[in-house]
Structure 1
Amino acid sequence: MPLEKILIGSEEWCSFPTLEIPKIKARVDSGAKTSALHAINIAPFVKDGENWVRFDINPIQKNVKTVLHCEAPLVGKRVVKSSSGYREQRYVITTEIELDKQRWPIEVTLTNRDSMGFRMLLGREAMNGRMLVDPSSQYLLGEPTIENLRELYRNAVKAKSGLRIGLLASNPELYSNKRIMEAGEMRGHEMHFLNIKECYMKLDAHNPEIHYRGGRILNDFDAIIPRIRPSITFYGCALTRQFEALKVFCLNSAKAITQSRDKLFSLQLLLNNEIDIPTTGFANSPLDTDDLIKMVGGSPLIVKLLEGTQGKGVVLAETKKAAESVINAFKSLNANILVQEFIKEADGKDLRLFVIDGKVVAAIQREALPGEFRANIHLGGTASVIKPTQEEKKIAIRAAKAMELKVAGVDIIRSSKGPLLLEVNSSPGLEGIEGATNKDVAGEMIRAIEKNFKLN
């Protein structure tokens, strides 16, 4: 009995069940021999001894946020001549297509169709013996509503592999980075380490992009976790802003990271939010040194380079003469410095409270090693579990909020005046706090991303 042919128009919606593509709009073209499917990040690989190809697809035209990650057996490569006469070598796959509740295998070439009006071209080989085309009609087999299409792809993306999360950092071997990658994978997400120095960007009003070394376009991430070391703050934040321009959720925004790295501005933000800090002075001219020292209570005092990080560029001046000498030496080098009161009663200890999404998830007390000091700065030493007071928790949460950070390491020192905030770190390390508290801080970071996508 001959197969009843399907009547279709010049444009139709079809599905690819084996690729888990629920709906895609196709241009029906009987003049084209082979069908073509939009694909980016195409990469061949071997699976069970056979050649396969994996690729990403933005199935909805002009929508780079919706991305599906597909795999299919590889038939081979073929040179295809486009309608404009351009010849291109493409990967060819075989997969099942579904139209009008009927399924059959077809060959499809993979190519970037961003410049075309349709993500799919249905050629005559796929239609032979099965279809009749009415070129004057469109969507004879029905058309999904926008709401239905969104729901289909929401479920498809979720079913595929959870979220696609990029960790934007410098060292994949660092404990913190390894733990974040591990925590994301444990929760069913697709994790990718993105080396900051291997990313570069295209600034364009209509088609902004981020590329990775080798030419891969990074336009398919659901979320980015920026962990930017201080020495590359400028470039790391520029990349983070570019991801934000692509509408990718960033766990900490470029704005928040930038202002947290500016020591003077961050202290001003904290004070504007009525958060107490050690008395601090800042001056431009060496002529003001004497009054600057008096301003913070005299010696001993702490001198901090504005550009210094993680305890570097920090000096304890125990006498007025030493303070004058250090301040004037820095000023002669045109270096910007802060002068800060010395909190003697802290006795070489401070607190690190880890804030994620408005909650303190872990806290430790850090104590300087014998012979070191930890007055208003951050050095190596021992870490122990501590229960912070309600006031200290509130200060940490308010500080992270003032900086607009979803993830922050908040450093607090206990003084005779009460708890004082030292610094807010936008890329806090996990090793010390996870080791001391035995808490899954990395997992809490991943949960904060899931909360944004309402997956948990």
Structure 2
Amino acid sequence: MTDLQIIGSEEWCIFENLGIPAIKARVDSGAKTSSIQATNIKVVNRGAQEWVKFEVNPLQENRSITIPCEAKLVDRRMVKSSSGISEERLVVRTLVKMGEHKFDLELTLANRDTMEFRMLLGREALMDRFIVNPAESFQVQSFTDDEVNKKYAPFYKEKTGLKIGLLASNPNLYSNKRIMEAAEARGHEIVFLNAELAYMKLDAHSPEIRYRGGNILKEYDAVIPRIKPAVTFYGCALIRQFNTLGVYCQNSAEAISQSRDKLFSSQLFAKNDIHIPITGFAKSPMDTKDLIKMVNGAPLIIKLLESTQGKGVVLAETNKAAESVINAFKSVNTNILVQEFIKEANGQDIRCFVINGKVVASMQRQAEKGEFRANIHQGGKASIIKITPEERKLAQKAAKVLNLAVAGVDIIRSNKGPLLLEVNSSPGLEGIENATGKDLANAMIVAIEKKLRFHN
């Protein structure tokens, strides 16, 4: 035991045979086998032997460096992840160097893109070699940032910009055109991708996304999802597939799905102490009268769970009218929410545009005379407004609860203070850019550059 070297909870590993000059590993004695992040995995035959070709992005949050690797396939194993899901992984054997130590190591090839570390060092590698002190780090060898950059200098590609995909449906919409203009102005290549023309290959070893005509969508650095509600299910499946391929998606599939489910998002807001108008939801029409009473009676708002841009939202001015509308919706098995009407708002609400946890622009929307919703798409008028610290905090918290990097947060002022109306995962740019004079499309692209650590 006294001959064993003490290592920390994280250490640097060098794989000369794979061409990886340095990769940071999490030391985990709870895992039997070591694993390394790998994408584009393909098994090839060389005579009677099977080899594996794969690509490694060795630096966390830096997809600009990709190292092609190949090694002999030694096994296929069922491995249970930390989330409890079992999956088949390919296993290779290669030489690893840790300080003065050199030894053969078995590695499972896994998609660790969402993990903090690109490599995990399991107990098979530790046995008879090391003792782990979890309170320490880099006991075997340590590299400074400058040393790491120097090691990877030959791998940096000559690149003037990122390759970005805009996943949407209509390239002629103001918001989509502005985003494409902003990306091009900053020197990036941006491609409009119609979500309904893309299709996927689901495979553990070589997953793909293809586009109309069979073109393989590859080498994208980032995707900006702007999917319309009608294709939420399929669009989110595409976003998950892009994520599997190691592409950064500005809003995740889970965040978009949550924002589109008004019942679920309302439950999340209430759970996280975010004040919303009193909201009711019921299955049976027999509960209609008590449902109306629960939200303080008419006038009240009735909205479809999948409503967007003010569509599918109805104001019932009397209890009788509310009963008729609710029962009509229930008779055709349509899910609705019933919400108290904030009369003192006088047809006004506030849209806050949030990017990476910061409110970058705010506008006030005023409904047309006779209308109760201040939606720009339905004739509402927008003007710049200075929000209060309480409103700013509410908008930031709402976006954070849904884990949205880009969000349009709608707030209404009431006698009880600011209330959250809803959160839009694909907020429009036209109204708020015109009202505030701010270049929000550019801000979205800058946010992607910062996330990917791209210096323009």
Which residue matches 2:164? 165
**Partner-residue secondary structure (3-state), 1:351:** strand
Distance 1:224 1:388 in 2: 31
The 5 A counterparts of 1:46-445 are 62-63=54-55, 150-154=152-156, 156=157, 159-374=158-373, 379-445=378-444
**Partner-residue secondary structure (3-state), 1:160:** coil
Cα shift at 1:454: 1.6
Cα shift at 1:152: 2.4
Which residue matches 1:7? none
Query: What amino acid is aligned across from residue 63 of structure 1 in structure 2?
Result: E
**Partner-residue secondary structure (3-state), 2:450:** helix
Distance 2:64 2:390 in 1: 44
Query: What amino acid is aligned across from residue 392 of structure 1 in structure 2?
Result: E
String of CA shifts for 1:21-61, please: whole Å, max 9, x gaps.
xxxxxxxxxxxxxxxxxxxxxxxxxxxxxxxxxxxxxxx95
Distance 2:169 2:410 in 1: 24
**Partner-residue secondary structure (3-state), 1:63:** strand
Query: What amino acid is aligned across from residue 173 of structure 1 in structure 2?
Result: N
Cα shift at 1:375: 7.3
Distance 2:380 2:374 in 1: 13
Which residue matches 1:97? none
Q: Is the 8 A contact 2:168 2:226 kept in 1?
A: yes
**Partner-residue secondary structure (3-state), 1:265:** helix
Distance 1:67 1:375 in 2: 44
Q: Is the 8 A contact 1:343 1:375 kept in 2?
A: no
Query: What amino acid is aligned across from residue 150 of structure 1 in structure 2?
Result: Y
Distance 1:377 1:364 in 2: 11
String of CA shifts for 1:414-447, please: whole Å, max 9, x gaps.
0000000000000000000111111010111011
Q: Is the 8 A contact 1:305 1:335 kept in 2?
A: yes
Distance 2:159 2:374 in 1: 50
String of CA shifts for 1:211-243, please: whole Å, max 9, x gaps.
011111112100000001111101111100000
Which residue matches 1:47? none
Distance 1:149 1:181 in 2: 35
Cα shift at 1:297: 0.2
Which residue matches 2:73? none
Q: Is the 8 A contact 1:376 1:422 kept in 2?
A: no
TM, length-normalised to structure 1: 0.67
Which residue matches 1:52? none
**Partner-residue secondary structure (3-state), 1:446:** helix
Cα shift at 1:351: 0.3
Query: What amino acid is aligned across from residue 371 of structure 1 in structure 2?
Result: G
Which residue matches 2:42? none
Distance 2:369 2:377 in 1: 14
Which residue matches 2:449? 450
Which deviates the most, 182-191 or 374-383?
Answer: 374-383
**Alpha-carbon RMSD:** 2.3
TM, length-normalised to structure 2: 0.67
Q: Structure 1 residues 229, 146: CA separation in 2 closer, same or farther (over 3 Å shift)?
A: same
Contiguous gaps of at least 5 residues in structure 2:
1-16, 20-51, 58-62, 66-146
Cα shift at 1:285: 0.3
Contiguous gaps of at least 5 residues in structure 1:
1-10, 14-59, 69-144
String of CA shifts for 1:276-295, please: whole Å, max 9, x gaps.
00000000000101110110
Distance 1:374 1:382 in 2: 11
Distance 2:365 2:53 in 1: 53
Distance 1:67 1:440 in 2: 27
Distance 2:163 2:376 in 1: 37
Distance 2:210 2:451 in 1: 25
Cα shift at 1:146: 9.4
String of CA shifts for 1:122-145, please: whole Å, max 9, x gaps.
xxxxxxxxxxxxxxxxxxxxxxx9
String of CA shifts for 1:384-426, please: whole Å, max 9, x gaps.
0001111101000000000000000000000000000000000
Which residue matches 2:89? none
Larger radius of gyration: 1
Q: Is the 8 A contact 2:350 2:410 kept in 1?
A: yes
Cα shift at 1:376: 9.9
**Partner-residue secondary structure (3-state), 1:62:** strand
Q: Is the 8 A contact 1:352 1:409 kept in 2?
A: yes
Q: Structure 1 residues 377, 190: CA separation in 2 closer, same or farther (over 3 Å shift)?
A: closer
Cα shift at 1:313: 1.6
Query: What amino acid is aligned across from residue 219 of structure 2 in structure 1?
Result: D
Cα shift at 1:166: 0.6
Q: Structure 1 residues 265, 253: CA separation in 2 closer, same or farther (over 3 Å shift)?
A: same
